[in-house]
Chain A
Amino acid sequence: ETGVTQSPTHLIKTRGQQVTLRCSSQSGHNTVSWYQQALGQGPQFIFQYYREEENGRGNFPPRFSGLQFPNYSSELNVNALELDDSALYLCASSVQQRPEAFFGQGTRLTVV
């Protein structure tokens, strides 16, 4: 059984650029969520995808968008990057109606 994997592990982007982060869900999981973790904070919910549709969204602007594919893998896209977008981005997969979510190792994004 493979766990949640994310790519890339580290990324440096310039303010105003766009970025795409990728995630492969754990085998058997049909739901994927994305979280942003700033330094010294707990992870903050960005959005969740279930059956390829957005199933809920946290307090993040529309320039944060996502996709879920038929194989349950997912992408997080961020447009018009700002310095405050620098953070660890975590993908988590789960099964609908189960509370436990399992996280990947994260992508460390630095915006300069």
Chain B
Amino acid sequence: DQQVKQNSPSLSVQEGRISILNCDYTNSMFDYFLWYKKYPAEGPTFLISISSIKDKNEDGRFTVFLNKSAKHLSLHIVPSQPGDSAVYFCAAILMNRDDKIIFGKGTRLHILP
């Protein structure tokens, strides 16, 4: 039973355009949502998080939007750069318990020249 779902295994975007990565979840009790980026042969790198009480968080080129009624979040990258090519994991966490992070399966983003 997957609690965090990334339904697009891959996405290709032209350099300079906006990349939008989507994520759905099933558990309305999640406290935080996180996005991680992973290059081959490296561990996941934390990008940005959002509290469940917010609907938007922005950090430089990265913005995460949360729609609680739809149990959906998205990561926007503007403008997309070649170094953004990586696998992006959406994740969620229930605080005040074991704080385990529940990950989606990831979306591979290709930035095209």
Contacts and interface: CB of A to CB of B under 8 A. Distances in A.
A42 B49 CA distance: 17
Contacts of A6: 43
Contact of B34 (A57, A99, A105, A106): A99
B112 interface: no
Contacts of B41: 105
A81 interface: no
A69 to B, nearest CB: 20
Given A103-B45, A105-B41, A42 B95 contact: no
Interface string A57-78: 1100000000000000000000
Nearest to B99: A48
Contacts of A94: 99
B106 A42 contact: yes
Contacts of A101: 46, 101
Interface residues on B, range: 20 to 34
B31 interface: yes
Contact of B101 (A45, A55, A105): A45
B91 to A, nearest CB: 8
A36 to B, nearest CB: 11
A42 B92 CA distance: 12
B105 interface: yes
A52 to B, nearest CB: 15
A4 to B, nearest CB: 7
Contacts of A33: 99-101
A22 to B, nearest CB: 14
A50 to B, nearest CB: 9
Nearest to A44: B103
B89 to A, nearest CB: 5
Interface of A: 4, 6, 31, 33, 35, 40-45, 48, 55-58, 90, 92, 94, 96-97, 99-106
26 contacts: A33-B101, A35-B103, A40-B105, A42-B89, A42-B104, A42-B105, A42-B106, A43-B44, A43-B89, A45-B100, A48-B100, A56-B97, A56-B99, A56-B100, A57-B98, A58-B100, A92-B101, A97-B95, A97-B99, A99-B49, A99-B93, A100-B49, A103-B36, A103-B44, A105-B41, A106-B43
